[in-house]
Amino acid sequence: MKTILYATDYSENSVSALRLAYSLAKKFSAKLIVMHVFDMPITLASTVTVTYLKKEKKLYVENRAKLKNFVDHYLDTIEMYMDLNFVVYEGTSVSSSIIEKAIKFNADLICVGAKGTSVIKELLLGSTANTLLKKSPCALLVVPTGSEKTELTKMVYATDFEQADIFAINKLAKIAHQFDAQIRVVHITTRNEYDGEGQMEWFKETLKQKVDYAKMEFDLVFSEKVFEDLLWYLENAQADLLVMLERKDSTFYQRYFQPDMVKQMVKNSPVPLLSFNAGGL
């Protein structure tokens, strides 16, 4: 991981994401790009005049200073060697602006807070979330408000036994290695699923052949209430991170992470959620 892009709306809801993004940047000696997207007021953006351009420049300067103050205020210390960059961007679409900059800077990870009070308002609960989940060119990390997790020592990967999961877990293993973390691979299903035990054994053996990481465990959970028992599993495992793979028309995505499911997960779980986009694997 070489470049992490963190986006904030200056709210306290995004502070936990800042601290985790900084922790990851230190672990990987990665570049950390701190970004804020602002929208010009309609009264200022009516015509491209000299006055407009001056006001636009003033907003850039003000937001850049505010962004630096935000980081200085909420990070206890900033390592002298840290490759820290500040980006202020004018745009009407937060998700499009984040994606545009992630592509420009070749980011390996986008990190955001689960909720905000302005430009990243209710990030996972509306169109911005759907856009980032489906179109992000890299992994997406969403951090709940109040999460204190900066050392990710227990990671849970929820799988549906698909080939793409193996590529995602291989990427996850590289992150886990930096934290010397345990990866617990879990499949939660109803007892009506055909040969759940057999599929788990096949997946386990295939994964061990493809992914060179020793600290992996596997669990198969039978449940008629998948969402509730996923939450139970995270708590029982004392997880620091939940990881899932987003892909189009995925049974896993439909089962676990429909819009209402995502809303409940963000509302009820203190665990950061890392999403790998299948198209980017």
Q: Give yes or no for a contact between 25 and 4, defined as CB atoms under 8 angstroms apart.
A: yes
pLDDT at residue 66 in the model: 92
Read off the pTM.
0.85
Burial 52-88, CB ≥16 within 10 A → b, else e: eeebeeebeeebeeebeebbeeebeeeeeebebebbb
φ, ψ (nearest 5 deg) of residue 52: -60, -45
The residue ranking higher by pLDDT, 274 or 258, is 274
* Sheet with 154-158, edge to edge strand ranges: 84-90, 31-38, 3-7, 109-113, 139-143, 273-277, 241-246, 154-158, 182-189, 216-222
**pLDDT, averaged across the chain:** 81
Between 3.90.1720.10, 2.40.100.10, 3.40.50.620, 3.40.50.1000, what CATH number should domain 154-273 receive?
Answer: 3.40.50.620
The residue ranking higher by pLDDT, 213 or 279, is 213
User: Mind listing the pLDDT tens digit for each residue in 127-170?
Assistant: 455 677 778 899 999 888 888 888 999 999 988 888 889 999 99
Q: 196-210 vs 163-179: helix axis angle to the nearest 10?
A: 60
pLDDT at residue 256 in the model: 52
Per DSSP bridges, beta strands 139-143 and 154-158 are unpaired
Between 3.30.360.10, 3.40.50.620, 3.40.50.20, 3.40.50.2300, what CATH number should domain 3-143 receive?
Answer: 3.40.50.620
User: Mind listing the pLDDT tens digit for each residue in 84-130?
Assistant: 999 998 887 888 899 999 999 999 999 988 764 444 444 434 445 56
The closest of 269, 244, 266, 215 to 112, measured between CA atoms, is 266
